[in-house]
Structure 1
Amino acid sequence: MAKSETTYVDPAGVHVIAPNFKIRLSGVTSTIIQLVPVQNRLGQKVAVLGPGLPGHLPHLRYRDLWKLWKRPAGAAHRVWHARRNIEMLPGIIMRDVMRMPLKLVFTSASQRKHSGWTKFLIRQMDAVIATSAKTSAYLEVPNTVIMHGIDCEKFKPAEDKAAAKRACGLDPEQRYIGCFGRVRHQKGTDLFVDTMIAVLPQHPGWAAIVAGRATPQHHAFEEELKARVTTAGLADRILFVGEHKNIADWYRTLDLFIAPQRWEGFGLTPLEAMATGVPVVATDVGAFAELIAAGESTAGRVIARDDLPAMLKATTDMMSGATGPVIAEDCRNHVFENFRIETEASRLGALYGRPD
Structure 2
Amino acid sequence: MPRILHVSQPVDGGVARVVTDLAVAQAAAGMDVHVACPGEGPLPRALAAADGGVRGHPWAASRSPGPRLRVEVAELRRVVDAVGPTLVHAHSAKAGLAARIALRGRIPTVFQPHAWSFEAVGGSTALLARLWERRAARWTDRIVCVSEAERARGRRAGITGSYTVVHNGVDVDHFSPRAPREARDRLLPGPFARAPLVVCVGRLCRQKGQDVLLRAWASVTARVPGARLVLVGDGPDAARLREGADASVTFAGAAGDAADWYRAADVVVLPSRWEGMALAPLEAMACARPVVVTDVDGARESLPRAGRAHGLVPPEDPAALARALVALLRDGDLRDALGRRGRRHVLDHHDARRAADAIDVVYRELLGVAPTKYRECTTT
TM bin (shorter chain): 0.7 to 0.9
Equivalent residue, structure 2, for 1:174: 195
Distance change (3 Å), C-alpha of 1:37 and 1:222: same
Please give the secondary structure, in 2, of the residue aligned with 1:354: helix
Aligned with 1:162 (options 171, 177, 181): 181
1:208 matches 2:204: no
Please give the secondary structure, in 2, of the residue aligned with 1:316: helix
TM normalised by structure 1 equals 0.79
Residue by residue over 1:2-52, the C-alpha shift from the partner in whole angstroms, topping out at 9 and shown as x without a partner, is xxxxxxxxxxx65222123x4754643342122211222233432223433
Equivalent residue, structure 2, for 1:79: 87
1:223 matches 2:233: no
343-352 vs 110-119, greater mean Cα deviation: 110-119
Distance, in Å, in 2 between the alignment partners of 1:214 and 1:291 is 25
How do 1:25-104 and structure 2 match up within 5 A?
A: 25=12, 27-52=14-39, 53-54=44-45, 55-56=48-49, 58-59=54-55, 65-66=81-82, 68=84, 78-83=86-91, 84-92=96-104, 95=106, 102-104=107-109
1:109 matches 2:114: yes
Residue by residue over 1:177-198, the C-alpha shift from the partner in whole angstroms, topping out at 9 and shown as x without a partner, is 1112223444221222232221
Are the aligned partners of 2:285 and 2:342 in contact in 1 as well (CA < 8 Å)? yes
Please give the secondary structure, in 2, of the residue aligned with 1:119: helix
Please give the secondary structure, in 1, of the residue aligned with 2:5: strand
**Identical positions, percent:** 24
The one-letter code sitting in structure 1 at the alignment partner of 2:81 is: L
Are the aligned partners of 1:164 and 1:252 in contact in 2 as well (CA < 8 Å)? yes
Distance change (3 Å), C-alpha of 1:147 and 1:78: same
Equivalent residue, structure 2, for 1:18: 6
Distance, in Å, in 2 between the alignment partners of 1:295 and 1:39 is 34
Are the aligned partners of 1:136 and 1:143 in contact in 2 as well (CA < 8 Å)? yes
The one-letter code sitting in structure 1 at the alignment partner of 2:90 is: A
Are the aligned partners of 1:281 and 1:314 in contact in 2 as well (CA < 8 Å)? yes
Are the aligned partners of 2:196 and 2:329 in contact in 1 as well (CA < 8 Å)? no
The one-letter code sitting in structure 1 at the alignment partner of 2:173 is: E
Equivalent residue, structure 1, for 2:217: 196
Are the aligned partners of 1:152 and 1:336 in contact in 2 as well (CA < 8 Å)? yes
Distance change (3 Å), C-alpha of 1:310 and 1:30: same
**How far did 1:265 drift?**
4.0
The one-letter code sitting in structure 1 at the alignment partner of 2:166 is: I
Please give the secondary structure, in 1, of the residue aligned with 2:140: coil
Residue by residue over 1:220-279, the C-alpha shift from the partner in whole angstroms, topping out at 9 and shown as x without a partner, is 4123213xx1xxxxx1x3222222223111111001111112233432111111111111
The one-letter code sitting in structure 2 at the alignment partner of 1:188 is: G
Please give the secondary structure, in 1, of the residue aligned with 2:199: strand
**How far did 1:310 drift?**
1.2
Structure 1 or 2: more helix by fraction: 2
Distance, in Å, in 1 between the alignment partners of 2:353 and 2:332 is 28
Please give the secondary structure, in 2, of the residue aligned with 1:153: coil
1:305 matches 2:304: no
Distance, in Å, in 1 between the alignment partners of 2:219 and 2:325 is 11
Aligned with 1:136 (options 151, 163, 177): 151
Please give the secondary structure, in 2, of the residue aligned with 1:252: helix
The one-letter code sitting in structure 2 at the alignment partner of 1:107 is: Q
Please give the secondary structure, in 1, of the residue aligned with 2:259: helix
Equivalent residue, structure 2, for 1:10: none
The one-letter code sitting in structure 1 at the alignment partner of 2:242 is: E
Distance, in Å, in 2 between the alignment partners of 1:338 and 1:304 is 24
Please give the secondary structure, in 2, of the residue aligned with 1:115: helix
TM normalised by structure 2 equals 0.74
1:124 matches 2:139: yes
166-175 vs 80-89, greater mean Cα deviation: 166-175
> Which has the greater radius of gyration?
1
Greater RCO (Cα-Cα under 8 Å, separation 6 or more): 2
Q: Aligned-pair RMSD on alpha carbons?
A: 2.7
Unpaired segments ≥5 residues, structure 1 = 1-12, 69-76, 96-101, 230-234
**How far did 1:283 drift?**
0.8
Are the aligned partners of 1:267 and 1:286 in contact in 2 as well (CA < 8 Å)? no
Distance, in Å, in 2 between the alignment partners of 1:143 and 1:294 is 24
1:278 matches 2:295: no
The one-letter code sitting in structure 2 at the alignment partner of 1:132 is: S
Distance, in Å, in 1 between the alignment partners of 2:80 and 2:148 is 37
Distance change (3 Å), C-alpha of 1:278 and 1:134: same
Aligned with 1:263 (options 265, 270, 274): 274
Distance change (3 Å), C-alpha of 1:256 and 1:86: same
**How far did 1:352 drift?**
0.6
Number of aligned positions between the proteins: 316
Are the aligned partners of 1:184 and 1:221 in contact in 2 as well (CA < 8 Å)? no
The one-letter code sitting in structure 1 at the alignment partner of 2:213 is: F
Unpaired segments ≥5 residues, structure 2 = 58-77, 119-126, 368-380
Distance change (3 Å), C-alpha of 1:224 and 1:64: closer
